[in-house]
Structure 1
Amino acid sequence: MTLGTLVTILDFGSVLIFALTGALVASRAQLDPVGFVFMAALTAVGGGTLRDLILGRDLVFWVAQPAYVVLAAAAALVVFWTAHLFESRYTWLIWLDSVALAVAAAAGVGVAMEGGFGPVIVVIMGVVTGTFGGLMRDVVGNEVPLVLKQGELYLTAAFGGALVAVTLAWLGLVRPHALIACALMVWSLRAGSLLFGWQLPVYRPRPPRKRG
């Protein structure tokens, strides 16, 4: 499988799964079908749009191929008619989001690699593509942004996966395999954080010193 083909598959996968999460947030906000489609599409293409604008691609990916938006809209309508069947929509939301984060981060890494950018830009694009769609979803949906929840690996998971991909590619692994390793690393870190509480130390201000 070529790098370009895998990137297209990853983009479609991330659009579908992120669209489902956007629609679940819409269900929690009790929006109408148009609201569902808006939230799903915003979440699905948000990170990839920012990525393509930063990299100066000729066309944003969903403008070049409107099937991405159609897929997001279809996913939104499916959730609109079935969301009541899920016992815990928030649990579905965070786990679907973890998969979407992994797939989208790998897609961002692949697009930057395909464009011939250096390691720093590749890693940044992995983080941007993986996180910004979900951030937009949570802000618009009035949810606590998952990317900012204290004590959970989210940005760190995307960064770690992108760094793994860059390292493996530098060591000579073919790029499609490096992207798969990226997605697996991102999801493993995110799932470990959710299941086992993996986290990095957080900043805690020191108490003021007492004056004698």
Structure 2
Amino acid sequence: MHETQIISALWLIGILAEAMTGALAAGRKQMDLFGVVIIGCATAIGGGTLRDMLLGNYPLIWVENVHYLLAIACASLLTVMIAPIMRYLSSFFLAIDALGLAVFSIVGAQKTLMLGYSPLVAIVMGLVTGVFGGVIRDILCNQMPLIFRKELYAVISLLTAAIYVGLKLLGIPEWINLSICIVTGFSLRMLALKYHWSIPTFDYQSGNDQHSH
């Protein structure tokens, strides 16, 4: 069960870090403390909650283990208190976010396979778990979701989940699979940030739109 404990610890670090990034997003929109907690919770557990609802997997993890919800709320409020030093920790948070993306993508795929769904559904649910907390955060903050406009994020989540499922089907030992996927997902995300890797964008403007500018 050793690798299960490691993945659980990484998952917990990931949700707390996502809660803090959500709280910072709320702070940029000058929300009150209730808003900070709501955005923090949505960012941290939104993806996993959406996955379990789509798969009909109840009770939801934060309903069954309410202490997770309390920890996320505390992390969100802690962010408000230490906000002045957060700018000095930006690189650290980018690294934790990259780790969280890999771990969430793996956990999403792992849980979906355990519930007996097909490999393709597992890959999609890895993506949902990895990125949709951020999508919900950005929608609540009234901005274009990060995954649709910036460096590779969703593609890395999809790739990490796909590698995990592929190696699982090949019968690779779980700890080796987890190690490969975490290192690959984390490294790709950090490289994408450093070198501004992105996929092509689609910029469509009709003739009427162009004349109106």
The interval holding the TM-score normalised by the smaller chain is 0.7 to 0.9
Alignment match, 2:207: none
Alpha-carbon distance in 2 for matches of 1:88, 1:29: 20
Alignment match, 1:87: 87
Structure ranking higher in helix proportion:
2
Number of residue pairs aligned between Structure 1 and Structure 2: 205
Sort the Cα spacing of 1:50 and 1:98 in 2 relative to 1 into closer, same or farther, 3 A. same
Alignment match, 1:166: 165
Deviations, residues 159-182 of structure 1 (Å, cap 9, x unaligned): 110111111112221234323432
Alpha-carbon distance in 2 for matches of 1:134, 1:176: 28
User: What RMSD over aligned residues (CA atoms) do the two structures have, in Å?
Assistant: 2.5
Q: Is the 8 A contact 2:40 2:72 kept in 1?
A: yes
Sort the Cα spacing of 1:93 and 1:25 in 2 relative to 1 into closer, same or farther, 3 A. farther
Alpha-carbon distance in 2 for matches of 1:3, 1:111: 14
Choose 33-42 or 125-134, whichever is displaced more.
33-42
Alpha-carbon distance in 2 for matches of 1:149, 1:174: 36
Give the 5 Å matches for 1:64-143.
64-87=64-87, 94-143=94-143
In structure 1, the gaps of 5 or more residues are: 206-212
Deviations, residues 64-94 of structure 1 (Å, cap 9, x unaligned): 1112111101101110101122336876665
- Secondary structure, counterpart of 1:199 in structure 2: coil
Alpha-carbon distance in 1 for matches of 2:8, 2:146: 26
Q: Is the 8 A contact 2:11 2:100 kept in 1?
A: no
Sort the Cα spacing of 1:25 and 1:16 in 2 relative to 1 into closer, same or farther, 3 A. same
Q: Is the 8 A contact 2:107 2:126 kept in 1?
A: yes
Alignment match, 2:37: 37
Alignment match, 1:16: 16
Alpha-carbon distance in 1 for matches of 2:154, 2:203: 19
Q: Is the 8 A contact 1:19 1:43 kept in 2?
A: yes
Q: Sequence identity, in percent?
A: 33
Alpha-carbon distance in 2 for matches of 1:52, 1:18: 19
Alignment match, 1:199: 198
Shift of 1:192: 1.2
What is the TM-score normalised by the length of structure 2?
A: 0.84
Give the 5 Å matches for 1:42-61.
42-61=42-61
Q: Is the 8 A contact 1:102 1:186 kept in 2?
A: yes
In structure 2, the gaps of 5 or more residues are: 205-213
Deviations, residues 115-159 of structure 1 (Å, cap 9, x unaligned): 222210110111000000011111212344210115x21110001
Sort the Cα spacing of 1:92 and 1:147 in 2 relative to 1 into closer, same or farther, 3 A. farther
